[in-house]
Structure 1
Amino acid sequence: MPIYEYEKNGKTAYYYAFEVKDTTGKRKTIKKRGFTGKKEARDAEAAARTEWLKGSYIDPSKITFGEYIQEWLDNKQDISPETRHTNNGHLSNHIIPELGHIPLQKVSVTHIERLIKALQDKELADGTVRKIYNLIHTCFKTAVKKELIIKNPFDLLDKGSKPRTSKPKIDYWTTEEVKQFLDKIDGRYRILFILAIYTGMRRGELLGLRWKDINFETSQIRISQSLKARQGLIKGVKTDSGYRSITVAPTVINELKKHRTMVLKEKLACEDYEDYDLVVCQVDGRPRALGTFDRDWKRVLERTEMRKIRFHDLRHTCASLLFSANVHPKIVQEQLGHSSIKITLDTYSHMMPNMQADAAKVLEKMLNNYS
């Protein structure tokens, strides 16, 4: 089983090639390039021969793009179940209907341009279009590395044809709106809204918060667990910077104490109580259901007659309140759990006109002192 050498980017690389006969007796050559060592090429050749004998060998020239991207995604290990579910949805709803029938090696830049236009014609959010674009682009990069295709069609894409990126719309309540809401809201989930507004925690972090994560003596909340739609309660949060401690106001501590008293009474009254030590939970102790969360939030807004915003916008509301109080962006970054201060500044720069005005006044005062 000879292995052949060739030069790639100035370095020695290896490929295998062997002949077989198909069911009609016609000869064909099975070949694959791109191996960095002889042993790697020899092992791959042996595997290819075995697959051919089993009848499971697939000629790269015959693979459709739909077959390839589905297999690529199925074998991808560095994504969460939630991301995998979302990506599979993009495949079935948008990508495969447009490109799935085209042979992998025949997908051209024109096909990519048509896909982008089709996605935009569906009036999908800019962020969704960009995610689909990035998913396919990454898939083609892998195909090039594996030498299943010679050229990545994305490399030929005109800059003006790439999907635009725009900042997501950020909405938030004013100080007066927050006061109105807190005056109107009551019930077992009042604590959820109190924590969202005062701490800026993400939804999954709020629903995964445990009593043991709260230090009532130091008024600190430690973020170390999250509730996910498909994974349930998991140790860990969105990013490494998500592991953090938040110091909360006395108002929040008092609300937590009242809520804990209610939870303890429910625990004693419920015969089949499941104790997950959760702060925000159902009457029987189980985690709050995520399937109806958005619908329930809309009902809260209708009941309180508040201006409609997303639940996630309570996180933005927290940031807005902090910036209006001239809290330093670094502190806001740490409280929200952003991975970098750049994210905080890029997201909330429009909320900091007062800080810019204060900086101008300070500079003016400094220079006047020298004049």
Structure 2
Amino acid sequence: MSTGHIRKRPTKDGKPSYQLIVESEKDPITGKRRRFYKTVNGTKKEAEVTLTRMKAEIDGSGAIAKPSALKLSDWMAEWLELYLPNIEATTRANYVERITTKLNPYLGSTPLKNIQTSMVQQWVNDLSKKENLAPKSVKNVYLNLKAALDKAVLLNMIPQNPCTGVELPKLVKYQAEVYDDIEIEKLLQETKGTDMYLFIVLEISLGLRRGEIAALEWSDIDFEKSVIHITKNRVIAGKEKITKSPKSQAGIRDLYIGEHLHTLLSEEYERYQADKKAMGGDFIDSNLVIRQKNGKGFSPDSLTQKWIRFRKIHGLKEIRLHDLRHTCATAMLSAGVSPKVIQTRLGHSDISVTMNIYTHSLPSMNKDAGDKIDEVLFR
């Protein structure tokens, strides 16, 4: 068995650096040991992990393979496990899905040391043209690769990052579609009397995110004060549903509700209690506002699919579920609600995000602005 130890190295900038020294077993012919060295710029834990890998490689082959001889897929897995231990479960699941489906099939079997800029560029081009992947999605998986290779450079596994110089497809800003007054009226008419009605009213009157609706519980509603407390967001991490706090403090907010929504929620709460009593042990007492008949909740993706099916069946204009949130914002804007209040109600941490709502303004609002400026200047 090989032996090894770690020696801390002094550095001018004071950053941690360690020298790894590993000795192989004696050669049966020469009777000599081989000694291997490696420098790790990072934490002691990183140095210990690298030392363990060096010893395993020496014991397995009698001569160490350079870490850069690892396959890219193996390095990506190690990067995720060792260097990103504290990222959220949802973020990790997204990274794993991207790397597994969009990176490894193209470059995963290539040795890390053999990755060239031209190969990365071809991969980016293939994602964009052959797979027709959206520019933002291409950029996301590219950034995962770049970060992993940056770490490989820092650990002296490769001399430079082959992502340098790669051209990404140009990002195209998505222009959200919204419903105007007539389309909102049709939407409400089509949903009234169905299990979609409360869900849609929550979307277009409060502008909630789908995960916020999926996580909304009866304990979040203060019927006496007509306030809904938004404190949770339901997300998917791999195949697991997770309820967590919003990404930013701005996402935690109290929303005052009008009389119509108050009545709808009161009636739904009575139905919840009635179903709970009628179904007995078959009822899942989830405490969720938007639920299935047996009390079981919906995943955010299920709500999206539910919306798409309903929209198609009833011949409604094709817009994303998230665009109902923009519809709410546009309706508030049209009603004269200040952007600052809209920001608070939507849970935007940055008002610039809210101000972008103006790019979704309706033609009628544009005409109204023209009429008003004409009246002010030329009356």
TM-score of the superposition, structure 2-length normalised? Answer: 0.81
Matches within 5 A, 1:31-180: 31-35=37-41, 47=52, 50-51=55-56, 55=60, 59-75=66-82, 76-121=84-129, 122-155=131-164, 157=165, 161-180=167-186
Displacement of 1:60: 0.5
Find the residue that maps to 1:232 and give its secondary structure.
Answer: strand
Q: Which amino acid aligns with 1:267?
A: K
**Cα 1:291–1:145 shift into 2, 3 Å:** same
Counterparts of 1:140 and 1:45 in 2: how far apart (Å)?
Answer: 16
Contact 1:323–1:352, Cα closer than 8 Å, also in 2: no
Residues 58-101 of structure 1: CA distance to partner in whole angstroms, max 9, x if unpaired? 63132111110122224433433333333323223221122112
SS of equivalent residue, structure 1 residue 131 = helix
Q: 1:41 offset after TM fit, Å?
A: 9.8
1:205 equivalenced with 2:212 (yes/no):
yes
Percent identical across equivalent pairs? 27
When structure 1 is superposed on structure 2, of 298-307 and 103-112 the one drifting more is 298-307
Cross-structure match for 2:246 = 237
Aligned to 1:227: 234
Q: 1:48 to 1:238 in 2, by over 3 A?
A: closer
Who is 2:265 aligned against?
256
Q: Give the secondary-structure state (helix, strand or coil) at the position aligned to 1:31.
A: strand
Alpha-carbon distance in structure 2 between the residues aligned to 1:102 and 1:8:
36
C-alpha distance in 1 between matches for 2:117 and 2:26 = 33
Deviation of 1:328 (Å): 2.0
Q: Per-residue deviation at 1:274?
A: 1.8
What is the CA–CA distance in structure 2 between the aligned matches of 1:71 and 1:249, rounded to whole Å? Answer: 52
Deviations 1:247-276 (A, max 9, x none): 122211111122222222212211222212
* Coordinate RMSD, CA, aligned: 3.7
SS in 2 for 1:287: coil
Q: Is the 8 A contact 1:17 1:32 kept in 2?
A: yes
CA deviation after TM superposition for structure 1 residue 148, in Å: 1.9
1:215 aligned to which of 222, 226, 230 = 222
User: Against the structure 1 CA distance between its residues 64 and 361, is the aligned structure 2 distance closer, same or farther, given a 3 Å change threshold?
Assistant: same
Pair 352,95 (structure 1): closer, same or farther in 2 beyond 3 Å: same
- Structure 2: 5+ residue stretches without partners: none
Counterpart residue number, 1:315: 325
- Inter-partner Cα distance in structure 2 for 1:144 and 1:182: 57
Letter in 1 for 2:19: Y
Q: Quick one: distance in 2 between partners of 1:235 and 1:193?
A: 23
Q: Residue deviations 1:314-354, cap 9 Å, x none?
A: 11111111122232222222211122112223465443995
Once residues 303 and 12 of structure 1 are traced to their aligned partners in structure 2, the CA distance between those partners, rounded to angstroms, is 62
Change (3 A) 1:130 1:49: closer
Gaps of 5+ in 1: none
In structure 2, the partner of 1:300 is: 310
CA distance in 2, matches of 1:22, 1:154: 41
Distance 1:40 1:17 in 2: 15
Say how many residue pairs are matched. Answer: 362
Residue 192 of structure 1, CA deviation: 0.8
Contact 2:175 2:360 in 1 (8 A): no
**TM-aligned CA deviation for residue 200 of structure 1:** 0.7
CA contact (8 A) 2:6 2:18 kept: no
196, 199, 212: which one aligns with 1:192: 199
Separation in 2, partners of 1:203, 1:45 = 43
Measured after TM superposition, the shift of residue 281 of structure 1 is 1.1
